[in-house]
Structure 1
């Protein structure tokens, strides 16, 4: 976690070092990978974990899907990164002004996008909807609150949905956290309403 946050601090300060990106590193990791962290992030083009955390080739195992949701394929990918590659930190990373969260909130309010008809986008919304519904009625920014709750929900689902990962967490061998990325200043902070799963 310290390594991720130090990288994010460099990124925010515009002092990124872009480590582990040269030909020597490429050759080194060509035969095997041992990422130190797994990031479940939104597929949003503005949220690239390797850049946000100033990491390079082989450092992060990144799973990206709109709304940073957890389904069986996502969970299997995360399990692989821990069980077979040795990652010992999982971060579910939501982000400010997430379009998938906003669209889900609008759909729940009875205003779905007509352009989403006949698409599979509803499958994403179904996974995000519990977080949107859990937003307190007095929240100043409903979407922003739902972004944090959605990341926390993803972290909780990873813990609850995988016996091997849960066993590692309970044995102190793995940590699962929820975080939020700010599009404006580039900072990663703990997801409000979330907690570390220890």
Structure 2
């Protein structure tokens, strides 16, 4: 995936495994090389930014890459049934969900529609930590908060929550059958920068 991202950044994508033959080959079943859980932001099309093809990635996405039962169940399926050796958790800069979570803690913040609030609420603990740390460094700090820093904190929370929520996934990591990589995608550069690694990442992933 790193090599594919490097090709994308360089403007030299190969668009592999996207032809009629590949489509026909996959009709009977799939064996993806990795699972990717990322934000549903329209600028994070996984197969494009990692220069992958049909059947290469098992992709799960929602706004803000927030852990839920459906996310955990989907990733457990990828590990237990499809035997993926790698889960990539992908956050990014300029994330609308992160921005909404930051603004939601303002004293005069308007109430959000209930379902949107439930979606961004898991990001708020990261906002609070960054806010607290800023105030410890600078008493009287009133903002604005660094959204990229909040996003990185939320990425760490997401990986930790995934391991906490799924015994199946945490055991696969402990047994050496699975690795989890948390990465941040930089929109302007197109680079996916790994910042968290759990387990051993196989070269072929």
TM-score, normalised relative to structure 1: 0.91
* Deviation by residue 1:112-148 (Cα, 9 ceiling, x = unmatched): 355x33x400111211112222223159962101111
Q: 5+ unaligned residues in a row in structure 2: which ranges?
A: 138-142, 200-205
Match of 2:125 among 120, 125, 130: 130
Partner residue of 1:165? 169
Match of 2:10 among 7, 10, 13: 13
Q: 1:174 to 1:126 in 2, by over 3 A?
A: same
* Deviation by residue 1:54-100 (Cα, 9 ceiling, x = unmatched): 00100000001000010111100010011111111011100111000
Partner residue of 2:93? 96
Q: Say whether 1:68 aligns with 2:81.
A: no
* Deviation by residue 1:20-65 (Cα, 9 ceiling, x = unmatched): 1000000111111111111111010011111110001000000010
Q: Which has the larger radius of gyration?
A: 2
Match of 1:151 among 145, 148, 155: 155
Match of 1:121 among 94, 116, 119: 116
Q: 1:113 to 1:185 in 2, by over 3 A?
A: farther
CA distance in 1, matches of 2:39, 2:165: 19
RMSD (Å) for aligned C-alpha atoms: 1.6
Moved over 6 A (4+): none
Which residues in structure 2 correspond to 1:32-111 (within 5 Å)? 32-111=29-108
TM-score, normalised relative to structure 2: 0.88
Q: 1:161 to 1:30 in 2, by over 3 A?
A: same
Contact map agreement 2:102 2:145 (CA 8 A) in 1: no
Q: 5+ unaligned residues in a row in structure 1: which ranges?
A: none
Match of 1:174 among 168, 172, 178: 178
Aligned residues between the structures: 190
* Deviation by residue 1:174-196 (Cα, 9 ceiling, x = unmatched): 001111000001000024xxx31
